Structure 1
Amino acid sequence: MKSKLLALGLATACPLVAWAQSGVTLYGIADIAVAVEDTGATGSGKRVVLNSGNQSSSRLGFRGTEDLGGGLKALFNLEAGVGLDTGATDAVFFGRRSVVGLEGPFGSLLLGREYSPIAGVAGATDILGQGFFGSNLSAFAANGLTRRVSNSVNYRTPSLGGLRASMMYGLGERVTGPSLDLAGVALDYVNGPVYLGAGYHVIERVAAGDDKEYILGAGYKVGAFDLKANYLVADPAGTNNTFTQANLGASVAVGRGRVYANIQQNKLDTGAKGNAFAVAYGYPLSKRTNLYASYAALRNNATGRFGLNSSSTSITPAATAAGSDPAVLAVGLRHSF
């Protein structure tokens, strides 16, 4: 009888042992805020909303590694976006990230849907963490730069004296349609408080030539201060409508919390221009939970209709409302697990 009970116990434990050996981690972020939004358009008033993902996109993810021996590891990451205000998921369930690959002394090789090389530099040099309203996410969401790429092959070198390279090739899988191939590369350098990065994408169009995208970014930490800046360009083929965005930001520790500020300029070759200012404050309640408040405003010229983006929400004037000045105030709670 005892031997039968022991066998049953071992059989029951086997899935748990396999789970532990695979090194799988369940993680996520739950972020929600009350926000007062104003597109600035004539005749449109302010509205009060409950938004998910004003500092960080709410998400649920799985990641794991397996030691294959000889310094080689298998790894994967599946990450889904969640709308905490409604419980809805993104249209593509694991659209935030879905990769599997190998990592070793040679670097890492990942296959699937992955962040682009430019996105890596942009995230590292955005003082708002590509979260609070007024971040450089507006360069991706509404103005053409590529942040994530499906059907991609990605290689990252190991660090050599602080210098690393990231390379991507996105297979457009075109048959007769307009799907695009993307080739990208980024270099970044990390040495103590210094960060420097640059990236380039070329996107093959079916008939109109190639789109080109660029980024330069830098960061520096000194004491309680953190300084970051970047310059992004989207140059679509066959047009005279190149988009540029420049960001300059700083943050400083104030007591247990931290204050963030960023100024931003958006321009198109057509003459459209929009200048934004953002400020935010985060206060930790614990290592995993914090309160935050943020305010951002953007001033468009007569032909500009640029908007403001947080990690999951955007406020952009309608196509018929050029010259409008959007603004938003948000107060929220974020918990990570």
Structure 2
Amino acid sequence: MGQAGISDNVRSFCSDYGLDLPVLMAPMAGASPVGLSVAVANAGAMGGCGALLMSPDGIADWAAGFRKQSNGAFQMNLWVPDPDPLRDPAHEAALAGFLAGWGPGPDLPGDGPFVQDFDAQFEAVLAAGVPVFSTIMGLLSQQQAAALKSRGIRWFATVTTLAEARAAEAAGAEALIVQGAEAGGHRGAFDAEGAEARAIGGLALIPAVADATTVPLIAAGGIADGRAMAAALVLGASAVMIGTALLRTPEAGLAPGWADTLDRLPPENTVLTHAFSGRAGRAVASPYVIAAQTGPAPAPYPVQRALTQPMRDAAAAAGNTDAMQMWAGQAAGRARAISADQVVRDIWAGALEVLPGLA
């Protein structure tokens, strides 16, 4: 694709979503405070809220808090629910014993639920009238997609394979977040069991999806400077999503140990792991993560998350990076401890240096 075609894609996307810059903040559950999204949106990009852990009232409060400080664009994200997990009390007991070596020994989880009620969260998103709603881990029902459309809420679907991309477009997604294997945090795979086996890098995935679909693409994973952004646009994306690149900013408010660990972190020092939540995600290869590779197999999501909660809480409180949950993409070493708005502007400026015809 020539620079004229790339420029057309970018300008069309920015026009459709009221953006000055074709950059979106990743909606990181547990790491998307209002202030971070406000800084991103006020720079002319799109803020983001990972609402997985939020109650319906929390969703309403987050949206209201954002709107008090910015009239910019933002997206709100939820996980499409997994089937109920298969439980194995004996295996959970073995896991509890293993986890006791890394922090407070967890009590065995009861019957749950261990997650917020998705239907209630979805209704809160509708009531909040968010500009964009994004999904991860699957697709909305026809009724849910229609409910968004009837309210003028745009639906972005996260995809990690070509098959997922085709299914998401057919289901009515208006844009696809194409998540390469480089991305930090949880993989957006529809099938939890196949997430690691089908971990495809962005260089292969973005052009394959671009050739097979007609909706705009948002590239996610490994984008922390202008060179990576330019590459994603050349491959067929209309915009990029950044997450790990924002984690060292003051607005993110990250635990100091986690933020410091990201400083100059080599790409090979991150791994895909189920050890924190039971769902595959890319994290820093900490001592706990490495030990978990040969420990008892993780329980399914969200049971594993419930089991590790005491360990994760204690590690965060003590600044213990051996056992702390530290999500990180492969480009984490390029994250900088500067303001979020400057991160966004610098990445776009760097892309323009590579592709000056976009200006």
Structure of greater relative contact order (alpha carbons < 8 Å, 6+ residues apart): 2
Question: Please, what TM-score do these two structures have when normalized by structure 1?
Answer: 0.30
More strand by share: 1
- TM-score, length basis structure 2: 0.28
Structure with greater Cα Rg: 1
Pick the structure with more helix per residue.
Answer: 2
